[in-house]
Structure 1
Amino acid sequence: MTFPVRIAVQLQPQQADYGQIRDAVRRAEDAGVDVIFNWDHFFPLYGDPDGKHFECWTMLGAWAEQTSRVEIGALVSCNSYRNPELLADMARTVDHISGGRLILGIGAGWFEKDYQQFGYEFGTAGYRIGDLAQAMPRITARLAAGNPAPTRKIPVLIGGGGERKTLRVVAEHADAWHSFGDLATLTRKSAILDEHGAAVGRDTATLVERSVGVSAPPRQVAADLVAAGVSLFTIGVGGPDYDLDLVRQWVAWRDAQG
């Protein structure tokens, strides 16, 4: 499978009033992005650590109603914060509200303050990744059992780069993999993902889309990333202003690819 080049924006739900986030969603869809992500945290990651912040999945339900064309999702939802069956039913519901435009982004979790302040067990990275591995079949089963069924096979995007455990979960369950790190890291871990794919009997080179965050203009980084197999490019944008200038540059680059 050849994946089309797509541009996403991650509208970070922090340091802003909800009206400013709603306006940013409108502007991003009008700008021509393919996907609008938020993130799944309870406190800001940048700026004032106790600044304004909003919850991920409640927001996705609102975005499902507000938008008409773009795909939406979390980059990424934390597996630790919700029972897997509940998360699956939330995803099924947002899938229907949006008319089949949800991407189910999920990861093992890492932001310790979220865990401490909301009463979740932080444990170790290995513990959290193990929980993610156990959750994925439960999510799949609950999606299959829902009535009405999802409008489509909801694509699963898994974020993370642990070479021994996380990438194995990606190989087994993901339709897309979001990488963190530079080009060399992406290239190395992409090859390791394909090794895991061979071990579990999936051709991850053709079945798992490569996704990466970008913070530089496309003229500086796009060619190398495309050569490394990336097709989904995400620009992170924070509040309260949600400046979409770099996003528009990437959309223009996508459109120039022909």
Structure 2
Amino acid sequence: MTGMTLSRPVRIGVQLQPQHAPYSAIRDAVRRAEDLGVDVAFNWDHFYPLYGEPEGMHFECWTMLSAWAEQTSRVEIGALVTCNSYRNPDLLADMARTVDHISDGRLILGIGSGWFEKDYESYGFEFGTAGGRLDDLANALPRIEARFEALNPAPTRKIPVLIGGGGEKKTLRLVAQHADIWHTFADPEVLSHKLEVLRGHCDSVGRDLNDIEVSVGVGGRGRDGGQAGEPEEEGSPLLDLGARLFTVGTGGPDYDMSVLEKWIAWRDRVNS
């Protein structure tokens, strides 16, 4: 156990993976997810499908988030996660501020260092090394924060920053320094360990671990599109460790919401 407080309510997210579907199906999936009562709708920041037909249909992340900002009225929206390598950090901050305003303050800025080599090679970005990409992210985050302060008009709120990844030396230190939300695909045993590492980083920078919302991918844990277990079985051990945002993944062309519905019902039972 990590000793994290249990006062933060459980939230359910959905990652609508923008692959293998026409945009009309994605638009419909966003509507259905909001109508079901999901708390956060995420997409992802890639240029090609991550599984299935590698050259299948796919759409870009941030232009889609702008459309979702207009289409939705209640859910928070964001990328799970934006690749830092693909955009100038100051430009990304401006894009986030703009979507924040379009959505009336419902954007989460999810960000990570990047990992999908095909994206880099096909679009002309330097892939480099994992360590180098993390160093680039470390340099970008203060620039994003500074640009938020300089923009006119300013963001409507302190835009929550979600950082994805579990690297113990660099990524979790960046989480301690900059993140409002930490996202992982860890199972309970790994999560328990990672939280203790994160606690150490928080202590070293003078931050309370409880200030960071812990987000866990379920309903397709990892990157293979697999299905989740029952929420009581899968979610409860993660909940006991301090996880509070549980995100179910679903992909095109059909965007099956049946697993998501179970997690929303579980959220309502836990929060009642």
* TM-score exceeds 0.5: yes
State how far apart, in whole Å, the 1-side matches of 2:191 and 2:21 are.
32
Instruction: Name the structure 2 match of 1:238.
Output: 251
Instruction: Name the structure 1 match of 2:62.
Output: 57
State how far apart, in whole Å, the 2-side matches of 1:248 and 1:180 are.
20
Instruction: Name the structure 2 match of 1:171.
Output: 176
- How far 1:184 sits from its partner (Å)? 1.1
TM-score of the pair, normalised by structure 1: 0.98
Alignment of 1:1-258 (within 5 A): 2-204=7-209, 206-214=210-218, 215-257=228-270, 258=272
CA deviation profile, 1:147-199 (whole Å, cap 9, x unmatched): 11100000000000100011000100000100123211111111101100101
CA deviation profile, 1:189-222 (whole Å, cap 9, x unmatched): 1110110010111112x11110001122202112
CA deviation profile, 1:216-240 (whole Å, cap 9, x unmatched): 2202112101101000000000000
**Large movers: runs of 4+ above 3 Å:** none
Q: Secondary structure at the match of 1:106?
A: strand
Cα RMSD between the aligned structures? 0.8
- How far 1:134 sits from its partner (Å)? 0.5
State how far apart, in whole Å, the 1-side matches of 2:157 and 2:217 are.
26
In structure 1, the gaps of 5 or more residues are none
State how far apart, in whole Å, the 2-side matches of 1:182 and 1:256 are.
22
Q: Once the two structures are aligned, what percentage of the paired residues are identical?
A: 68
State how far apart, in whole Å, the 2-side matches of 1:207 and 1:77 are.
22
State how far apart, in whole Å, the 1-side matches of 2:13 and 2:53 are.
25
Q: Secondary structure at the match of 1:53?
A: coil
Give the total of aligned pairs. 257
Q: Secondary structure at the match of 2:202?
A: helix
State how far apart, in whole Å, the 2-side matches of 1:249 and 1:8 are.
12
Q: Secondary structure at the match of 1:148?
A: coil
Task: Tell me the amino acid that sits aligned with residue 60 of structure 1.
Answer: L
State how far apart, in whole Å, the 2-side matches of 1:77 and 1:58 are.
12
State how far apart, in whole Å, the 1-side matches of 2:123 and 2:199 are.
36
